[in-house]
Chains A and B, each alone.
Chain A
Amino acid sequence: MMTKSKNKLWQPFMIVGYAIVLLFILSFFKLPTGSLNSLEKIDILADIKKTPAQPKPIIPPKKDSFVQLNNGPIPKDSTLIADYGYDADDAIGTFYKKLDSTKNDGKKVRIAYFGDSFIEGDEITDEIRLQLQSLFGGNGIGFLPVQSSVSALYTQLNIKSSNWIEYNFRENPYKYPLGPSGHLFYPYIDAEVEYVPKTNWLPTEAKLYSGKSAVKGTVRTTVNGKSAAITFNSNQLVNENILSSGTPINNIKINTKSEDLPIYGISLEGNKGVYLDNYSFRGNTSILTQQISKDIMAGLNNYLHYDLIIVHYGINAVEHDKQTFPWFETSMNTVIRNMRKGFGSVPILVVSTSDMGYKYNGKYATEKGIPYLVATQNKIARTNKVAFWNLYEAMGGENTITKWVEGDTVFAAKDYIHMNVKGAKKVGDLFFDKLMASKNYYMNSISKHK
């Protein structure tokens, strides 16, 4: 009972003091390795200790892994597109020339952009498309799925879908041949999709891409309130069916009860100019892209006639602090090989990973594996003799992502990976500017050689 009446004001000091002393001792000892590996070393004095040396910088891969030539199609400026396939038929130069002539000859120029969540929702690609279309013409968003979990992101149009069964890279129990974005849709009882473009540049053509079906397909299309029914054969692996042509489309609604009709998507476009199709799939390291058969690519290319294929993966291939990516290399080599077989002689552009942050000692900095991944991607482009664009370098290189998340103007999301609306526009503009600069560089260098 005596203790109760005594003042215990000293006890809190004992409790706190004990913790400080123990943590103090811990901060001067190294943790034993082994079973305690998952524990972080605790160093409460880290901020006031003498620094042993400079904090470990990111050791960039050897400079010579980025081949730099003084003249020819590989510019010194590492933020421009380097074309390692400059002496082949499918050099990116063919694409530049087509861009320049599209306004005169009226031939459409078409780009397929394969990627992961970095380009999902069409925010970055939308900016690239708009820039290209404002310079070279074109009206419409290009290829679209009939249902999208990120449909809310599309700034150019509203998508409303109902009653579709979706199969995709991750859920495809019957092994259906999937479309270019890794999706395939089947109508369920009475399926519907409605697209309402929000811009003034209205598309004038709507085309439906369907897969192989034993029975004929019937689709009811309502364009600007006017309905029409179309019945068609869908006996090829990829079939194009024109739903509307000639009139500017303010609103298009597609209904179908053909439950046996597999659908890849639709395309909204004009009759000339540049089109960029966004084929993104969340979480794709590039391995999933191997599931797209070259016959599908070839079938699609019969109608869409691609002039450039962009392959942009990487953020899902990063493994913390890893410096080599052998599996990624193998996978990308396979993907590029498949694309060459599928799309034929079309230039391919490998886009490097963007900058990505990792928490080092409580503060975000560029994930140390990123420069190595970029070097690997550069190597992939070189060995496959395709073009390469260093997005990481063009963004600003090391620790750009930290500035983009923590700066006064915020460009990237708090996951230190993805872009927000402003960042998407910035990256899209960056791509467009560098593409144009690379085109100028190429045009200048060939005129010099002449």
Chain B
Amino acid sequence: MQGIDLHKLLDALLYHEKDPLLFNSSFFLFFFGFFLLIYVIGYRFSTLRIYLLTLFSLYFFYKTCGWYVGFILLSAVFDYNISNLIYKTENKSSKKLLLVGSVILNLGLLFYFKYTNFFIGILNDFGSHNINYLKLALPVGISFYTFENLSYTIDVYRGEFKPVKKFIDYLFFLSFFPKLMMGPIVRASDFIPQINREPFISEKQVGEGLYLITAGIVKKVIISDFINANYVINIFDNPSTHTGLECLMAVYGYAMVIYCDFSGYSDIAIGIAKWMGFDININFLSPYQSASIAEFWRRWHISLSSWLKDYVYIPLGGNRKGSFNTYKNLFITMLIGGFWHGASWNFLFWGGLHGIALAVERLRNSFGRKHLLVLPYSPKATKVAAIILTFHFVCLGWIFFRCDTFADSWMMLKQITTNLQPKLLRSLLQGYLPVFILLTIGFILHAINEKTENKFKQLIINMPLPLKMFYFFICIYIAIQLKQADIIKPIYLQF
């Protein structure tokens, strides 16, 4: 038995660039455990609770991205003050000016960190310029809290929301650690009223939180990370050395990886918030069950698509200015949505692809057709066909979303369409058996209907506390085992 090294312990409390704090870091378990201990003791004292939670959130942020924590403080100071000013100002044009200033500053910061190098690249490519790229690291969560800042200020401007009176409340809202890094994007109007309310959770909420957190762990660590590290990452890294079949399976694999990764993280965030007595709206609703792209966006990253709808699509005119403008607005909104995900032509293309699909669907609906493919006498089969078609369109988009360059994306498509080699299926499945078993389980779990899901949720809610404790431990234990597991390298396919 070895003792604890005090230096290492202190060092572990500091930020390390190569080891940022995530929900799936083992450090987080200690962090969260310690936090809950303090929270249980002090939750009744309103001011203490708010300050403590804010402090924990800022520390969490520091552990993820070091001194960039300053940005969230700065933007909180700025947006808190400007929103109050907007609220107090009565002159309409002054109000507007303040809003525009706020939008420019918020987006400017986001643009500077996220898009400067992208535009330098464009200038270098299209002009004869040779500008050096800036060495910029993207402050974690900036895409998320910028949107939260914007919606808050815009809501205040629109008169839909009274700004908070205390700065600490605003900082609390913006930095609330469960949703800080990967969302969901929380609306101030939903969240701020909960801040000063004494947290209360029932047995049901404890169970719901446990369900969400463990489901998130299964999705993120067990399904997503495993499939990604053992299969998907290698194929996407170099599609030209893999057959079409391997590429196709990697696309299906990636569809599962990105869903489980993102929604798993959201689930954990919502579950943790629930355990602290805060309600955050659900962010994903089995998106691959969608029978159309429009439905997909009602089920995928809901907090983003609803944000885009309320703050981009509707202000652009939505569907109120004739059908051509509606299509145009849909396209622009999705293009912005794509660009929000990352600074590259691939993300823009991905957004554009979805924008076009939404417009085409709308056009088709205007002719009174609900589905692209109508199978005679069988509405059920028609729906299944529509789900499969939608899924494959989404997968097509994922190719562009995941690949670093267009060249890689085209290579992936080329391999799938011209070099499929389906006879390799057996050896592929044999070589990566654990990966494909997990992938199948992932898709089966995804296909489960809400009723069955609720039954399982109820089962967890009804567990007595000791069983809940044990169930949580088992999930964590399996996750750690899988995190440490060896990488699968089936030699006949790989080398």
Contact = CB atoms under 8 A, between A and B. Distances in A.
Contacts of A16: 29, 32-33, 36, 472
A45 B485 CA distance: 18
Interface stretch (A3-11, A180-188, A247-255, A299-307): A3-11
Contacts of B47: none
Given A12-B36, A121-B240, A413-B238, A48 B29 contact: no
Nearest to B423: A171
Contacts of A150: 240-241
B243 to A, nearest CB: 6
Contact of B481 (A13, A39, A414): A39
Contacts of B200: 7, 9
- Which of B32, B206, B234, B491 has its CB near the most chain A CB atoms (within 10 A)? B491
A60 interface: no
A415 interface: yes
B473 A22 contact: yes
Interface in A14-29: 14-20, 22-23, 28
Given A16-B36, A40-B484, A153-B241, A48 B205 contact: no
B204 to A, nearest CB: 8
B5 A48 contact: yes
Contacts of B492: 170, 282-283
A28 B494 CA distance: 38
Interface in A42-63: 42, 44-45, 47-52
Interface string A106-122: 00000000001110110
A218 interface: no
Interface stretch (B99-107, B149-157, B413-421): B413-421
Contacts of A420: 237-238
B43 A9 contact: yes
B201 A13 contact: no
A315 interface: yes
B421 A19 contact: no
Contacts of B419: 149, 152
A395 interface: no
A189 B98 CA distance: 75
A51 B492 CA distance: 39
B407 to A, nearest CB: 11
Given A9-B200, A413-B234, A282 B414 contact: no
B12 A316 contact: no
B241 A49 contact: no
Interface string B465-486: 1001110110011001101111
B332 interface: no
Contacts of B447: none
Nearest to A419: B238
Contact of A8 (B37, B201, B237, B484): B201
A326 interface: no
A19 B473 contact: yes
A288 B468 CA distance: 54
B280 to A, nearest CB: 16
A20 B2 contact: no
A356 B314 CA distance: 54
B460 to A, nearest CB: 11
Contact of A153 (B43, B240, B489): B240
B397 interface: no
A45 B4 contact: yes
A315 B495 CA distance: 8
- Which of A4, A10, A22, A51 has its CB near the most chain B CB atoms (within 10 A)? A10
A129 interface: no
B110 to A, nearest CB: 25
Nearest to A19: B473
Contact of A13 (B5, B40, B415, B476): B40
Contacts, number: 159
A47 B414 contact: no
Contacts of B202: 4, 8
Nearest to A357: B487
Given A19-B469, A316-B491, A28 B33 contact: no
Contact of A12 (B30, B206, B233, B491): B206
Contact residues on A (Cβ < 8 Å of other chain), bracket: 35 or more
B473 A10 contact: no
Contact of A18 (B276, B472, B489): B472
Interface residues of B, number: 63
Nearest to B472: A15
Contacts of B243: 149
A417 interface: yes
A403 B166 CA distance: 49
Contacts of B37: 13, 17
Nearest to A170: B492
Nearest to B484: A40
A283 to B, nearest CB: 5
A138 B372 CA distance: 57
Contacts of A50: 2-5, 8
Given A152-B415, A359-B487, A418-B241, A18 B36 contact: no
- Which of A9, A45, A50, A316 has its CB near the most chain B CB atoms (within 10 A)? A9
B29 A13 contact: no
Nearest to A7: B200
A28 B4 CA distance: 11
Given A20-B30, A120-B241, A283 B495 contact: yes
Contact of B234 (A42, A153, A415): A415
A42 B205 CA distance: 30
Contacts of B238: 413, 418, 420
B357 interface: no
Nearest to A40: B484
A37 interface: no
Contacts of B1: 28
Contact of A23 (B476, B487, B493): B476
Nearest to B10: A48
Contact of A152 (B36, B43, B414, B421): B414
Contacts of A246: none
A19 B234 contact: no
Interface in B202-221: 202-203, 205-206, 209-210
B411 interface: yes
B199 interface: yes
A205 B243 CA distance: 31
B4 A10 contact: no
A362 interface: yes
B277 A283 contact: no
A361 interface: yes
Given A9-B199, A16-B36, A150-B241, 9 more contacts: A12-B209, A13-B39, A16-B29, A18-B473, A20-B29, A48-B4, A50-B5, A283-B493, A420-B237
Interface of A: 3-4, 7-20, 22-23, 28, 39-40, 42, 44-45, 47-52, 116-118, 120-121, 149-150, 152-153, 170, 282-283, 315-316, 320, 359, 361-362, 413-415, 417-418, 420
Instruction: Identify the 10 closest CB pairs spanning chains A and B, nearest first.
Output: A12-B275, A13-B36, A18-B469, A40-B484, A152-B240, A117-B495, A50-B5, A48-B8, A19-B473, A11-B206
13 contacts: A7-B200, A11-B203, A12-B36, A12-B276, A13-B39, A14-B469, A15-B469, A15-B472, A117-B241, A117-B494, A282-B493, A283-B493, A414-B237
